[in-house]
Amino acid sequence: MTTLSPSAAPGTLRYQLAEFWGSFSASRGALVGLLFITFILLIALFAPWVAPHDPALQNRDAFLVPPVWHAEGSWRYVLGTDAVGRDVLSRLIHGARFSLSISAMVVVLSMAVGIFLGLLAGYFRGWLETVITRLMDVVLAFPSLLLALGLVAVLSPGLTSAMIAIALVQLPYFVRLTRAAVIGEKDREYVTASRLAGAGHGRLMFNTLLPNCMAPLIVQATLSFSTAILDIAALGFLGMGVQPPTPEWGAMLANAREFMGSAYWAVTFPGLVILLTVLMINLMGDGLRDALDPKLKRS
């Protein structure tokens, strides 16, 4: 007699995880994305140890030093320096901390509030639903960046305002998805069973319904994460986000802009890092969608 390994038993969490991993890792793009994101996260986490220089240190002997592959470049500043002699690579590494942590907070904030409002709207329906969906329509009527800019102007430019503004702009997507998912699940047998067993509103919403509505929300979370990185950088670029001398990718681009003609590296690398990070998150998001939501599967 052979014993079944516990991981093979359908219905268990381990089985589900294995199944998820199976379809996620089937996509090469998704795996590459995951690896890259893990790499960037580790770099961000260990930034002070990984970065070769202090990101704020201005070296007077090294203004606009080109990257190492130029004749005038040196291994001391692998990706060159900016106009005040700061190491571009070190600033990029430290910048990852800001971009990733602010974006992560944006997603958490937006997702938490969005799920709550979406659950309320989908579960209770009626006037509450009308009010919530109309409010979200108002948010959607403004182009996202414009609304964020307006909010930042009200709240005064800075890290926290940028975070709140972008979280608000992302909110309607989470609300709409949660609401739609809840409405779809609400009349299923397991929910009725739970209600008959005496579960209250809170328990029904958060313990019964929510776990079964998570798949599209997780996919949306990765999408929001990449959008947040772009928006934070855009606000930084416009001078409305993280304030100097904080090494933030968008702000780095804005500072380097006037030296565009003479120092391409100061412009090229921050943008390249933004593009790569966003691209890899989107690749991973596509894989997640295929693995979590067979209905949405890309044909």
Q: Within its chain, how far is the Cα of 6 from the centroid?
A: 34
Closer to other proteins by Cβ: residue 96 or 210: 96
Based on CB atoms, which residue is closest to other proteins, 18 or 153? 153
Least distance between other proteins and beta carbon 275 (Å): 6
Bridge partner residues of 87 (DSSP): 81
Q: Judged by CB under 8 A, which of 146, 188, 244, 294 binds other proteins?
A: 146
- Near other proteins by CB under 8 A: residue from 42, 48, 74, 137: 137
Taking the complex as a whole, how short is the minimal distance between the CB of residue 152 and other proteins, in angstroms? 8
The 3-state DSSP class for residue 63 equals: coil
CB of 177 to other proteins, least distance (A): 16
- CB within 8 Å of 149: residues ≥ 6 apart: 165, 235, 238, 240
Residues binding other proteins: number (CB under 8 A): 46
CA distances from 106 to 228, 243, 295 (A): 7, 18, 27
- Please state, in angstroms and rounded to a whole number, the distance separating the CA atoms of residues 138 and 127: 17
Residue 92 CA to chain centroid, in angstroms?
18
Closer Cβ to other proteins, 126 or 200, answer by number? 126
Q: Per CB under 8 A, does 238 bind other proteins? A: yes
Both tokens of 68, joined, read 């190492």
Out of 8, 57, 112, 138, the residue judged to bind other proteins by CB under 8 A = 138
Q: Segment 200-229, which members bind other proteins (CB under 8 A)?
A: 226
Check binding of 154 to other proteins (CB under 8 A): yes
Q: By CB under 8 A, which span of 45-53, 177-185, 207-215, 237-245 interacts with other proteins?
A: 237-245
CB-CB contact of 237 with 231 (8 Å): no
- Helix intervals (H) in the chain: 13-25, 28-45, 47-50, 88-124, 126-141, 144-155, 159-185, 189-196, 201-203, 214-237, 249-256, 264-292
Site string for other proteins, 259-288 (x = CB under 8 A): -xx--x--xx-xxx-xx--xx--xx--x--
- Report d(CA 281, CA 277) in Å as an integer: 6
At closest approach, how far in Å is the CB of 142 from other proteins?
Answer: 5
Q: Is residue 59 exposed (0-12), middle (13-18) or buried (19+ Cβ within 10 Å)?
A: middle
| Smallest distance from other proteins to CB 25, Å | 19
Determine the distance from the C-alpha atom of residue 103 to the mean position of all C-alpha atoms in its chain, rounded to a whole number: 5
- We find the least distance from the C-beta atom of residue 46 to other proteins, in angstroms, to be 25
Among 228, 233, 284, 291, indicate the residue that binds other proteins (CB under 8 A).
233
Which residues touch 43 (CB under 8 Å, ≥6 apart)?
Answer: 50, 93, 96
Q: Is 250 in the site for other proteins (CB under 8 A)?
A: yes
- Greatest Cα pair distance, the chain, in angstroms, is 77
Contact with other proteins (CB under 8 A): which of 145, 199, 204, 214? Answer: 145
First to last CA, the chain: 42
| Sites for other proteins among residues 81-110 (CB under 8 A) | none
Out of 81, 144, 170, 246, the residue judged to bind other proteins by CB under 8 A = 144
Interface residue list for other proteins (CB under 8 A)? 134-135, 137-138, 140-147, 149-150, 153-156, 226, 230, 233-234, 237-240, 250, 253, 257, 260-261, 264, 267-268, 270-272, 274-275, 278-279, 282-283, 286, 298-299
